Structure 1
Amino acid sequence: MKSRNYIILFVATTLMASCNTSKKETVMLKQSDFPAPPVAEVIPDTFTNFGQTRIDNYYWLKDKNNPKVIDYLKAENAYTDTVMASTKALQQTIYDEIIGRMKEDDESYPSFSDGYYYYSRTEKGKQYRTYCRRKGTMDAPEEIIFDVNKMAEGKPAYIFHGYSVSPDNSKAAYLCNETGSFAEFTLKVKDLASGRDIGFTVNGATSMAWANDNKTLFYGIIDNTLRSYRILRQMLDAPKADLVYEETDTRFSTYVSGSKTKQYIFIESTSSTTADERYISADKPLDAFHVFLPRIQDVEYSVYPHKEKFFVRYKDKENLNGKIYEAPLTGHEDRSTWKEFLAHDKDVRIEGIDVLKDYVTLELRKNGLSEIIAKPVSGGEDKAITFPEPVYSAGLSGNPEYDATTFRYTYTSLNRPTTLYEYNIANGETAKLKEQEIPSGFNPGDYVVERLWATAPDGVKVPMAIVYKKGLKKDGTHPTLIYSYGSYGISSDVYFSASMFSLIDRGFVYALAQIRGGSDLGEQWYEDGKLLHKKNTFTDFIACSELLINEKYTSANRLAAMGGSAGGLLMGAVTNMRPDLYQTIVAQVPFIDVINTMLDDTLPLTTGEYEEWGNPNEEEYYNYMLSYSPYDNITAQNYPNILVTGGINDSQVLFHEPAKYVAKLRSLKTDDNIVLLHMNMDSGHGGATGRYDGIKDTAFEFAFILNRVGIEK
């Protein structure tokens, strides 16, 4: 769901066929070759909606305070360990390969902001980053702001969620947790001279912004459904905070931020379809917030201050891909004072914007590919960066300094490591700042990248990017992994993943399907894959899978699929619809129990999701959601091999969804394939929080896929 959006773990695909018949054929072990899997107790709960009755035998699994639930999860993990025991050596091999492609001692390229160069680094053997700065020049003494390894010491999970430095550079407010949850963070303030935490501590904080007095902090907090619903203001030495805004519409979440120009504090309230903002002067933190433009249903806008005007990114039903206006600093409530700065284009979606003194830099998306331009504030010729490859991703990184005449951007593709560039707007020159290093060696020319177009059942062409090792023969014998997400308008962008080459170098084809529900081909692409059009997401993915088979990259008995969170919903849906099409499925923290979750408004991230999935309290939406909800559509049929992951502290997709799914799937499936549940008992939606532990998780999932297609080394 919205925040059920994190896992986009890219993997690789297709096995090079070996026709050496003298080799001993691998024996594929089945479920019956292992001890019997755990059997969850059947305790029926009956639900009736709109005259329809549902019986849920595993509803009881949602209570993690019930010892029987924990015992069941532990039994599932023990069974998974038993089944996967034979892959331990393979897991270690994959782990070592991924580490070999990773520069363990590494440092980000420094970024200059308010007199300091900021950067972070990783060190060999350490799980987390260290955040640092140097004053004025990179030759100045290093100041360590946060050593996350020390902060996380002795803790099974730890997330450092970011920090904000006060205007006078003396303090830093920061967010962290020890649960691995993506929605429950603690806010603290650190004095950067002494290294000690000062002032107050807030549990359940979501966002933060400093006033220019360096002692007033604005922050957001969550309610019991983990919705960010209030913005408070507090002086560092004050005993309590003052409420400055409360969002009462449960479809909306609210966040606070400071402007790049240091002039304003903004409060944004946003739902899946609608957004509005209010603001005050950062010099006057006690002022009442002023609404920039009143809320209008299905209108989204964001305000980007320039010292002489406001730039407003604006979207409505007639301008789905967005447009940009410029508005005066005073009197902007009168829409007649607005001037169009960038017109709407039905073929070009506005992805990102960064305002400099003389230019507005823009990240755009056309035909599924990124474009970056610099548009003069006062008019004149645009400066555009062109990219030569047919399949790539480019991302605008901007510049934190308002007066800058340069900006940064990243470039990557399936066979090209991520590279950071800096573009000089004045002379049009580009400088490479940092390229992702692959210590074990990597040659892009050893791999082939293609862009394919599948035809969906309604005739729509769906793009898909693939990569494989050069020399592959299209004879239908190669193992392949297809991945996608397809929700919330989040595009499935291609990027270089050092880990996925542990599959590709073993002969896999890796495919990334850019299906509806994402915004890969513009905002209408997203609209056509949500609400009462959600099934387009699933049929697009099936069409891409069929294309890989029809074009003889692979065959159904060699095809694996992977998706996480809302992409896990995708996995569950296509597995019910076309179980014959896939040999193996990996569903990471899957949003799988759609009806039960969306009917329970006490759960996190439910009412705010009505504009994405629909409100099941309305019969039309109930019937449609029920028709595809993976948990509700499991039937007595043959299913592929399936690995399902979960996290006990998951705030986005609660742990019981993957647990219930596995329990019900095992009770109904008619095949002898393996179904495993891998539940992280320490963390949340993103799995293990340390980088080395995360690589172990990846190696585990890859080993499952490889084992299921008969690759043992």
Structure 2
Amino acid sequence: MTSTHEPPVAPQHPVVRRHHGDEVEDPYEWLRDKDDPRTLAHLEAENAYAEARTAHLADLRGRLFEEIRSRTLETDLSVPVRHGGWWYYSRTVEGSQYAIRCRTAVSSPDDWDPPTLVPGEPVPGEEVLLDSNVEAEGHDFFSLGGFSLSDDGSLLAWSTDVVGDERYTIRVKDLRTGELLADEIAGTSGGVTWSADGSHLFYTTVDDAWRPHRVWRHRLGSDADDVLVHEETDERFFTGIGRTQSERYLVIGASSKITSEVLVLEADDPTGDFSVVVPRRDGVEYSLEHAVVAGRDLFLVLHNDGAEDFELGALPVDAAPVDRPLREALETVVAHRPGTRLEGIDVFARSLLLSYRREALTRVAIASIDDDGLGEPREIDFGEELFTAGVGANAEWDQPVIRLGMGSLVTPSTVLDLVVETGELVVRKQQTVLGGYDPADYVQHRTWATADDGTLVPISLVARADTPRDGSAPALLYGYGSYEISIDPGMSVPRLSLLDRGFVFAIAHVRGGGELGRAWYDHGKLTHKKNTFSDFVAAARHLVAEGWTSPERLVAEGGSAGGLLVGAALNLAPEAFGAVVAEVPFVDALTTILDPSLPLTVIEWDEWGDPLHDPDVYAYMKSYTPYENVGEVAYPPVLAVTSLNDTRVLYVEPAKWVARLRERSTGEVPALLKTEMNAGHGGVSGRYAAWHERAWELAWIIDVVGAPHEPRPAATDVGAGS
């Protein structure tokens, strides 16, 4: 980077923070005022500076965008999913930013083989339900939230956000006539659920802290005020509504980070009263599905009451509510197995699908349901060392095939149908990667780093098969490590542009995620949070020790809570990384979690602790929050990317962090801040805009560690004598 442009200097206007006898002067807190012209001027100046510092990468950005585009089948179709008398699918068209959602009629009641759709060719009998490109016209940002069809397929309800603040407007269309109905509901959280007869819609709204807290009922065509059917008054809980797989019940879920409660109502009685299945008890989490087993109506309840990694039990529908511990009240269906984290169930008329994790990999098993009861679960073999698998879109209660999905770091996303009767897996589609992609040119690998306390931390990585193991290769290490969210191995088309320039890509499955069960999460949250950061540093050093890369060629990347991760790891060991990319990073965590008026703060206290009322939590968080702990050391180059309209991690966090890095770093290369002025937490909208955005980041990553701007020839293109 050779630009002579000087970085913007944020003026210091100290704001004093006082808690638990601790007084802190924060010179950059004034940037929180989004309406202050000085704030917007500063962000615009940062954008101009970032563009100037990276102007020499314009050609590389263009090449990377074209690589992504040339590898992507731009005109494509999804595998149709059957619901009622229709096959539903989405398609994309070259040059269009967004998907078009469509359907075509089922040929006969016994037709369970989805029609073969050919990209670019007309689909016989196609009916366009919603063209998001039309919906997005005239807007700089567009996000589709809910997309829900009435049970008879005659009505469509959907929601859109055209700002990026996650406030969605619901609209309804009569698919029989194409008429847009007068029903329009603004300010919702996005989801929308139908009653069984299509007479009512249910939706949620958020409070001032962006917490979904109210469930409403709207009668279609009515001018009367919508009816509040559930309000969650505990600020630690958020709520939502949906339907069971059987479509028999409407289900309201209320959950904090550690406790949950479910209320149900027959879906054909939309104006009735919801009833609690299991009253909330602190620390007990559960979810449920409806099943009919040997003629009995049951709720299958997935819970952690006395079962750290969850177990599955059965409760007769008429036995609710439960007034004693779940392990006593339920008939055990799948017993608790320490180290095997049960994560979800999908229930059909003839089968039960279990989704779980074992040894840091996703697993799926199927059990039969018949007149004799439930059969023994059988794990499905996906045939790879590293993979991600799960249950796909399945809309019918009684169907002879179950839609699954799988992929890996080298295998493109694959859609499968599992034939229930025979166990056969039928490949319906595999993501097309153009340009001669050959999985054999790449290798994926699982390795384990040793953390400071001796814990083994799994790392999944992928590289070109011809990548050297002498420490000379550049590498990108990605991490997240919060909320029990797992970062599973999957293929990425943009990532190929890195691999073909000699990069190793690795995922550090650090504590705080869910890869190795509930204990793995618990040991990376609250007052164990520092394990998340030290695990990531251990992973970085392990990659170096194994010869995959060297510190000066290793880029760390994380987004949101992963931005907190890389920011904290950078403070712990700035010498371990050659550069850092932080997307919408949660780097001023203590300031945010101290303010209960900010979005989601109170809900987050179960994840991070409550520094507002607990001095020990305050001191612990202050000791790791990236912004609070920037030192006077030589930091490597940092790229922070944020969004002005993000409601989850406010733009002010990276803005303050970058200002402090500039103030204190003794390194020669300054930090960069890039703010999307028309985007939300997920970044820009539209696939081409997203590709441009990723190309911008990839160009910086490639250049900052001195990797070649041109890709190497594919291994299959290199002759034996080369």
Name the TM-score class by shorter chain: over 0.9
Give the whole-Å Cα distance in 2 for the aligned partners of 1:646 and 1:381: 48
- TM-score, with length taken from structure 1: 0.94
Contact in 2 for aligned 1:383/1:428 (Cα 8 Å) = no
Which residues in structure 2 correspond to 1:414-563 (within 5 Å)? 414-563=409-558
In 2, distance between residues paired with 1:668 and 1:197? Answer: 57
1:488 maps to a residue whose letter is Y
Q: 1: distance between equivalents of 2:578 and 2:380?
A: 42
Within-5 A mapping of 1:675-690: 675-690=671-686
Is 1:646–2:642 an aligned residue pair?
Answer: yes
Identify unmatched segments of 5+ residues in structure 2: 108-114, 116-122, 711-722
8 Å Cα contact 1:303/1:310 also seen in 2: no
Asked if residue 144 in structure 1 is aligned to residue 124 in structure 2, the reply is no
User: In 1, Cα distance between the equivalents of 2:674 and 2:553?
Assistant: 23
> What is the aligned counterpart of 1:375 among 360, 363, 367?
367
Note if contact 2:286-2:303 (Cα within 8 Å) is conserved in structure 1. yes
Deviation at 1:476, TM superposition (A): 1.1
Q: Does 1:222 align with 2:244?
A: no
1:16 aligned residue: none
Paired letter, 1:216 = H
Asked if residue 315 in structure 1 is aligned to residue 303 in structure 2, the reply is yes
Contact 2:246 2:348 in 1 (8 A): no
After alignment, is 386-395 or 495-504 more displaced? 386-395
Say yes or no: does 1:77 pair with 2:20.
Answer: no
CA apart distance, 1:375: 1.3
Alignment partner, residue 270 of structure 2: 285
Which residue of the other structure, out of 254, 268, 276, is the alignment partner of 2:239?
A: 254
User: Is the counterpart of residue 212 in structure 1 residue 207 in structure 2?
Assistant: no
Please say which of residues 382-391 and 570-579 is displaced more in the overlay. 382-391
Work out whether residues 76 and 678 of structure 1, in 8 Å CA contact, stay in contact via their aligned partners in 2: yes
Q: Distance in 1 between matches of 2:133 and 2:441?
A: 37
**Aligned with residue 201 of structure 1, among 150, 167, 184:** 184
Which stretches of structure 1, 4 residues or more, deviate above 6 A after TM superposition? none
Shift of the alpha carbon at 1:157? 0.5
8 Å CA contact 1:328, 1:337 repeated in 2: no
Shift of the alpha carbon at 1:282? 1.2
**Do 1:331 and 1:337's aligned partners in 2 also have CA atoms closer than 8 Å?**
no
Q: Work out which of the residue numbers 613, 620, 624 in structure 2 matches 1:624.
A: 620
SS in 2 for 1:131: strand
1:301 matches 2:286: yes
Q: 1:45 aligns with which of 4, 11, 15?
A: 15
Distance 1:101 1:298 in 2: 47
Alpha-carbon shift at residue 140 of structure 1 (Å): 5.4
1:585 to 559, 580, 585: 580
Contact preservation (8 Å) 1:583, 1:640: yes
1:395 Cα deviation after fit: 1.4
Q: Is structure 2 residue 679 aligned with structure 1 residue 691?
A: no
**Mapping 1:256-271, distance limit 5 Å:** 256-271=241-256
Counterpart CA distance in 2 for 1:195 and 1:657 is 45
Distance change >3 Å, CA 195–CA 40, structure 1 → 2: farther
Tell me: higher relative CO, structure 1 or 2? Use CA pairs within 8 A at least 6 residues apart. 1
Aligned equivalent of 1:410: 405
- What does residue range 14-413 of structure 1 map to in structure 2 within 5 Å? 29=2, 33-137=3-107, 138=115, 141-181=125-165, 183-206=166-189, 207-239=191-223, 240-307=225-292, 308-316=296-304, 318-334=306-322, 338-377=330-369, 378-397=373-392, 399-413=394-408
CA-CA distance at 1:317 after TM superposition? 5.9
Shift in Å at residue 213 of structure 1?
2.8
The residue number in structure 1 matching 2:719 is: none
In 2, Cα distance between equivalents of 1:47 and 1:520: 37
Shift of 1:164: 0.8
- Is the Cα contact below 8 Å between 1:465 and 1:511 reproduced in 2? yes
TM-score (norm 2): 0.93
Q: Secondary structure at the match of 1:389?
A: coil
Contact 2:556-2:581 within 8 A present in 1 as well: yes
Deviations 1:358-408 (A, max 9, x none): 211111211011221111231334333113322111112162211113212
Q: Secondary structure at the match of 1:591?
A: coil
Contact 2:146 2:192 in 1 (8 A): no
- 2: distance between equivalents of 1:258 and 1:604? 27
Q: String of CA shifts for 1:615-643, please: whole Å, max 9, x gaps.
A: 11211111111110111111211111000
Q: 1:662 and 2:654 equivalent?
A: no
Aligned-residue offset at 1:82: 0.5
CA RMSD of aligned residues (A): 1.4
Instruction: Provide the secondary structure at the position in 2 that maps to 1:276.
Output: strand
- Residue 636 of structure 1 corresponds to which residue in structure 2? 632
